[in-house]
Structure 1
Amino acid sequence: MNHLLVVILYRPPFHTVFTTLASIRTLRPESIWLIHSSSETLPSLPDDVHLLEVKPEELGKQLNTLIHSRQKVDSALVLFSGVHTLIHKDTSVMVSGNEEQVWLQNQAWTRSPIPETRYIPFKEAFLAYWLNQLPKDMPFQPLKAPSQGRMPITEHAKLEFAGTYEQPNEQLTSPVTVLIAHYNHVNTVDAAIASCLVGRFVPEQILVIDDASTDSSKERLATWEHPTLHIHFLKQNGGKARALNAGLPYIHSPFILELDPDDWLDPDAFTKMRESILSWPEQSPLLYGNFRRWNSAKHELQYKGIAKGRPIYSKAELLAYRHPLGPRLYRTSSLKKIGGFPELNYADGRLYEDVAVMYKLLEEGPFHYVDQTFYNVRNHQDSITQKNHAKWNGFLTHLKDLD
Structure 2
Amino acid sequence: MKAVLPGWEVIKIPERGTADLLNQSLRSYDEAFFLTLHGGDILRPEFMEQLQAWSQELQDGDGGIVIQPRLSFTMRTQNATQDCAVLWRTSAVLTGTCPGFAGRNLLPFDPLVLYDQYIRIRHAYRWKMVSTDDYIPARAYPEQPARNPELEASELMPIIQRCRTLEEERPEALFSPVISVVICTYNNADYLPWAVRSVMAQTDPVWELLIIDDGSTDATPAYLDTLQGDPRIRCYRQQRNEGKAACLNAALQRVRGKWLLELDADDWLAPESLVRLSEVALYSEDSGVIYADHYEWTERRSGELVFRGVKKPPEALSRQWLLEEGPALAPRMFRVGLLIKHNGWSTTVPKGGRLYEDIELLARLALEETMRYLPLPLYHRRIRSGSMTRMHERLYKPWSRSISAEIR
Q: Is the TM value for this pair above 0.5?
A: yes
2:12 maps to what in 1? 34
Whether 2:80 is the aligned partner of 1:98: answer yes
* Percent of matched pairs sharing the same residue: 21
1:390 maps to what in 2? 394
Q: How big is the shift at 1:307? A: 1.7
1:247 corresponds, among 248, 251, 273, to: 251
Whether 2:285 is the aligned partner of 1:282: answer yes
AA at the equivalent of 1:114 = G
Q: How big is the shift at 1:223? A: 4.1
Q: How big is the shift at 1:311? A: 0.9
Q: Given that residues 98 and 142 in structure 1 are in contact (C-alpha distance below 8 angstroms), is that contact kept between their aligned partners in structure 2?
A: no
Where structure 2 has 5 or more consecutive residues not aligned to the other structure, the ranges are: 67-78, 132-136
Q: Given that residues 61 and 116 in structure 1 are in contact (C-alpha distance below 8 angstroms), is that contact kept between their aligned partners in structure 2?
A: no
1:295 corresponds, among 298, 322, 334, to: 298
Q: Given that residues 121 and 264 in structure 1 are in contact (C-alpha distance below 8 angstroms), is that contact kept between their aligned partners in structure 2?
A: no
AA at the equivalent of 1:201 = D
Q: What is the distance in 2 between the residues matched to 1:195 and 1:153? A: 22
Q: Given that residues 182 and 261 in structure 2 are in contact (C-alpha distance below 8 angstroms), is that contact kept between their aligned partners in structure 1?
A: yes
- Give the secondary-structure state (helix, strand or coil) at the position aligned to 1:246: helix
AA at the equivalent of 1:69 = D
Q: Given that residues 122 and 301 in structure 1 are in contact (C-alpha distance below 8 angstroms), is that contact kept between their aligned partners in structure 2?
A: yes
AA at the equivalent of 1:398 = I
1:20-61 alpha-carbon deviations (Å, 9 max, x no partner): x59xx8789955432237xx8xxxxxxxxxxxxxx5563463
1:96-130 alpha-carbon deviations (Å, 9 max, x no partner): 56351574567644665434312111212223333
1:269-316 alpha-carbon deviations (Å, 9 max, x no partner): xx2431342134221122222222222222322222222233124222
2:187 corresponds, among 165, 184, 187, to: 184
Whether 2:152 is the aligned partner of 1:158: answer yes
TM (norm. structure 2) is: 0.73
Greater shift, 26-35 or 317-326, is seen at: 26-35
Q: How big is the shift at 1:214? A: 3.2
Q: What is the distance in 1 between the residues matched to 2:12 and 2:269? A: 30
2:31 corresponds, among 58, 70, 73, to: 70
AA at the equivalent of 1:222 = D
Q: What is the distance in 2 between the residues matched to 1:136 and 1:260? A: 30
1:172-209 alpha-carbon deviations (Å, 9 max, x no partner): 97632221111122222222222222344346222111
AA at the equivalent of 1:164 = P
1:81 maps to what in 2? 39
2:370 corresponds, among 363, 366, 369, to: 366
Q: What is the distance in 1 between the residues matched to 2:138 and 2:319? A: 49
Q: Given that residues 293 and 313 in structure 2 are in contact (C-alpha distance below 8 angstroms), is that contact kept between their aligned partners in structure 1?
A: yes
Q: More helix by proportion, 1 or 2?
A: 2
User: Relative to 1, partners in 2 of residues 1:234 and 1:111: Cα closer, same or farther, differing over 3 Å?
Assistant: closer
Q: Given that residues 256 and 329 in structure 1 are in contact (C-alpha distance below 8 angstroms), is that contact kept between their aligned partners in structure 2?
A: yes
Greater shift, 144-153 or 293-302, is seen at: 144-153
Q: Given that residues 139 and 145 in structure 2 are in contact (C-alpha distance below 8 angstroms), is that contact kept between their aligned partners in structure 1?
A: no
Q: What is the distance in 2 between the residues matched to 1:287 and 1:178? A: 14
Q: What is the distance in 1 between the residues matched to 2:40 and 2:158? A: 20
2:113 maps to what in 1? 126
User: Relative to 1, partners in 2 of residues 1:386 and 1:139: Cα closer, same or farther, differing over 3 Å?
Assistant: same
2:328 maps to what in 1? 324
1:345 corresponds, among 340, 345, 349, to: 349
1:116 maps to what in 2? 102
Where structure 1 has 5 or more consecutive residues not aligned to the other structure, the ranges are: 1-20, 41-54
Q: What is the distance in 2 between the residues matched to 1:80 and 1:334? A: 53
Whether 2:216 is the aligned partner of 1:213: answer yes
Q: What is the distance in 2 between the residues matched to 1:212 and 1:98? A: 41
Q: What is the distance in 1 between the residues matched to 2:4 and 2:371? A: 58
Taking the TM superposition and a 5 Å limit, the aligned residue runs for 1:21-60 are 31-36=9-14, 58-59=20-21
Q: What is the distance in 2 between the residues matched to 1:310 and 1:353? A: 20
TM (norm. structure 1) is: 0.73
